[in-house]
Amino acid sequence: MAYLVKDAYSNMPDDEFSSFPKPDYSHINPLIVVLDAEKISWDQIHIDDLANCAKYQKGVDPAAVEEVKNSFAQGLKVQEPIPAVYLRDPKKSTPKPYVLRYGFHRVYALMALGTDGWFFNQIMKKKSEDSDERIPLTEQEWEKVCLYENEPLPKTLNTEQNIIDVFIKQIKRGEIKNTELRIFDEIKGTLPHRKKGSLNRIVQAVYKGAGTKIKYEYYTDAKIGQWVKNHSKENYVFGGKFDQERNMFGFVAKQGSLIRTYEQAIKLKAATGCGSYVVMHVGEVTKDAPLSKKRKNIVKEYTTIRTAHAQVYGKDVEVLTVLGALPQQWEIENWKVLVDLKIPTTGYDSKVKPVIDVTPISPIIVNKIDEKLGIAA
């Protein structure tokens, strides 16, 4: 049955509440429980958008409220998510026992449409895996829930600064250990669907804002340019531009993407007769993929490509030289020079070429093949 928003609160039967979707916050804490939707009147809910824990611009956006209001005016969609509340301490008597935690734009839009109340999910958590007792979420858990809830469209999205501010606050409260790995895991775990580029910007900004001791440096094109300008003893050019000092074309490549650079170098060698060089760097360093292993893989990547070309064409031609890797380990590596990757300079075409076993085919088999192809004499 279709309902006008103004009438839904009074007329929707209890058995239809199940149509409202229940969000899943198990990635934040597997003990979090989202209770079935319930009707709550406005006079029972404490609503303070200035205390919205995941919105640091403070207060709702009037334009966004108007947009939601116009959407609701078309009728109720039970497939849409509903706001969430928590129940204050039941031992303490209060005229407003519930507190709104997210859905402020929706709530203000619904109020403007003349509703008496609305449908809400109450979010709590189990005291333990085997317990039926429900307890409130911690403030940190609520912050993460609110951040995640604001991710999908069409609701107002978290800005990157919202997320950065929340996590810096949690680090300063001592709820997140101020280390690179812990911070990354917390942010990634809270916002698993955030795009990689945005996630990386957020993580780096949180590191900076929280004064996190950085163990490894990760590069963008802009950062690489700053390294050359601010640190390097020598000058380098990248992006396939011509380096007049070395009479070579210059490139930079990340581990795993060398083949594209190699092919570009081949084309430039054919067109100009000049070789190219490349400076390498690696992505995220982890316990299972340490920096040393990633750099060994660069050497393997290069030698595999160069050997394959030499074996196919019968001669090794050095079209691309790996000058080294960008320094990435703070307090260990010299930021003024490239790291030597110890790329071998010989032996690329020394392997014996495989002998193709050409076994003669009997005339009977040849004739049968020809018959199948319709070319038999």
Residues 105 and 250: their CA atoms lie apart, in Å, by 52
User: Domains in the chain, ordered, with CATH?
Assistant: 5-137 (3.90.1530.10), 159-214 (no CATH), 217-377 (no CATH)
pLDDT at site 56: 43
Nearest Cα to 120, choosing from 198, 20, 212, 228?
20
The tokens 């192809």 sit on which residue?
A: 373
pLDDT at site 277: 97
pLDDT at site 54: 54
pLDDT at site 288: 86
Contacts 24+ apart (CB under 8 A), 126-133: 126/31, 126/33, 127/31, 128/31, 129/30, 129/31
Amino acid present at 268: L
Beta-sheet pairing, 117-126 with 32-34: antiparallel
pLDDT at site 57: 46
CB 187 within 8 A of CB 202: yes
Question: pTM value?
Answer: 0.54
Give me the tens of pLDDT residue by residue for the chain, a chain 377 residues long: 567 888 888 888 877 777 788 899 999 999 999 999 999 999 999 998 765 555 544 567 788 888 888 878 777 777 778 999 999 887 777 889 999 999 998 999 999 999 999 999 999 999 999 888 999 999 999 999 989 988 765 556 678 999 999 999 999 999 999 998 899 999 988 988 788 788 888 998 999 999 998 888 888 888 899 999 999 999 999 999 999 999 999 999 999 999 999 999 999 999 999 999 999 999 888 888 899 999 999 999 999 999 999 999 888 989 999 999 999 999 899 999 999 999 998 888 876 555 556 666 777 777 777 776 667 66
Give the tokens for residue 202: 């957020």
pLDDT at site 337: 97
Residues 47 and 98: their CA atoms lie apart, in Å, by 9
pLDDT at site 327: 97
The DSSP output letter for 45 is E
